[in-house]
Amino acid sequence: MTTAIYPGSFDPITYGHVDLVKRGLAITDRLIVGVLGNPSKRPLFTTAERLDQVRRAVGGLPRVRVVAFDGLLVDFLRASRAQIILRGLRAVSDFEYEFQLALMNRRLNRKAETVFLMPAEPYTYLSSSIVKEIARFGGNVRGLVPPHVATALRRAHRPARD
């Protein structure tokens, strides 16, 4: 039985991420969505909030588990008894960075195999950073993120009242 890990900060989860989870399920028996709790990235949402958002977005899919992790991805891979790291590539610009990560993960764990998937065309431009920027300035993120995430973004970017 093959198990893949789809790691990320998911700050926040977008429909591009959801698309990759569904694509990942087509090529593996089980998929673990690993929500990185790395505070050095200064996420907008806490790890607990991101876990909840991801679970609500993909938790109903069969063979998907959503868990938080810290530390090295290869250690999480080993502890989860997974064989595959699933990563998304939106554009050629993503490739160089992802290629470096894949090679380093393989150096740290010879059994680590990285599989790159491209999202569906409507999501090739989509990133969490872009979504946060749109939300920060009051733009409409409908169609980019699940409704519960859009609500959380609106709350996070409400102007403070004196």
| Domain membership of residue 37 as a residue range | 3-156
pLDDT, mean of each 10-residue run, the chain (162 residues) = 96 97 96 89 91 95 96 95 94 86 94 93 92 94 96 83 50
**Whether 85 contacts 106, CB under 8 Å:** no
Q: Cite the active site residues.
A: 17, 41, 90, 128
Supply the CATH number for residue 134's domain.
3.40.50.620
Q: Which of 81, 33, 86, 87 is nearest to 60 (CA)?
A: 33
151 phi/psi in degrees, rounded to 5? -65, -45
CA 130 to chain centre: 14
Q: Are strands 84-88 and 3-8 parallel, antiparallel or unpaired?
A: parallel
Q: Is residue 145 one of the residues assigned to a domain?
A: yes
pLDDT score of 50: 97
Any idea what DSSP says for residue 142? B
Q: Is residue 161 one of the residues assigned to a domain?
A: no
pLDDT score of 94: 81
Q: Is residue 109 one of the residues assigned to a domain?
A: yes
pLDDT score of 162: 47
Domain count, the chain: 1
Q: Is residue 162 one of the residues assigned to a domain?
A: no
